[in-house]
Structures are given as structure tokens and as C-alpha cells.
């Protein structure tokens, strides 16, 4: 299975990605690495997953349809939508 995971660089999304990869799924994460959260934390969250050949990370904003159309290709068996906008 190939899973598209939005907001996957966050705490919950990155743990889900790790679990899906452990279950032999391919995982594509789309996350805009919004500056509301420290970028280095999010990159650290997905560092282990990034070492797996079945993992792909796309830095993109899911509200930008043109950007998504340029970045996303292929088919996905499921979409897990965890992206959200943090506010302080």
C-alpha cells in the first residue's frame, strides 16, 4: 500500500509514518514545515523515516493546488489528513 500523509512531519504524523513503514507500506508525507513550529523539530521527527526507501517527503502547502499538482504523482491507496494550522 502507498499512503499519502498530510501534516506527517508533526508528532502524531511522524509516529504514524514510522508505524506504516514498519508494516511495509510506502509513505509520502506532505508538510509545509510551517514556522509556527520549529523546523528542526519536524525534520528530526521524520529523520528515521527518511532513511527508508519506501519514504518520500514533499515540502508543500496543501492549500496550494498548483504546487500539489506539480509535486504529487502516482496513485495512493489511502490518504491520512493530519495537516492543521497551528495558532498561538
Confirm whether 86 is domain-assigned: no
Confirm whether 12 is domain-assigned: yes
**Widest pairwise Cα distance in the chain:** 37
User: What are 53-64's pLDDT values in tens digits?
Assistant: 999 999 999 999
pLDDT at 31: 96
CB burial of 33-43 (b: ≥16 within 10 Å; e: otherwise) equals bbeeeeeeebb
Confirm whether 87 is domain-assigned: no
What's the predicted TM-score (pTM) here?
A: 0.92
Confirm whether 28 is domain-assigned: yes
Residues 26-39, mean pLDDT to the nearest whole number:
93
CATH number at residue 11: 3.40.50.720
Confirm whether 18 is domain-assigned: yes
What is the residue range of 66's domain? Answer: 2-81
How many structural domains does the chain have?
1
Amino acid at each position: 500500500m502507498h499512503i499519502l500523509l498530510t501534516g506527517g512531519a508533526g508528532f502524531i504524523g511522524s509516529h504514524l509514518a514510522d508505524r506504516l513503514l514498519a508494516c511495509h507500506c510506502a509513505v509520502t508525507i506532505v508538510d509545509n514545515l510551517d514556522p509556527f513550529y520549529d523546523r528542526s523539530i519536524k525534520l528530526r521527527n521524520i529523520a528515521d523515516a527518511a532513511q527508508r526507501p519506501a519514504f518520500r517527503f514533499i515540502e508543500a502547502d496543501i492549500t496550494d493546488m498548483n504546487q500539489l499538482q506539480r509535486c504529487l504523482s502516482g496513485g495512493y491507496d489511502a490518504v491520512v489528513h493530519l495537516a492543521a494550522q497551528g495558532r498561538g
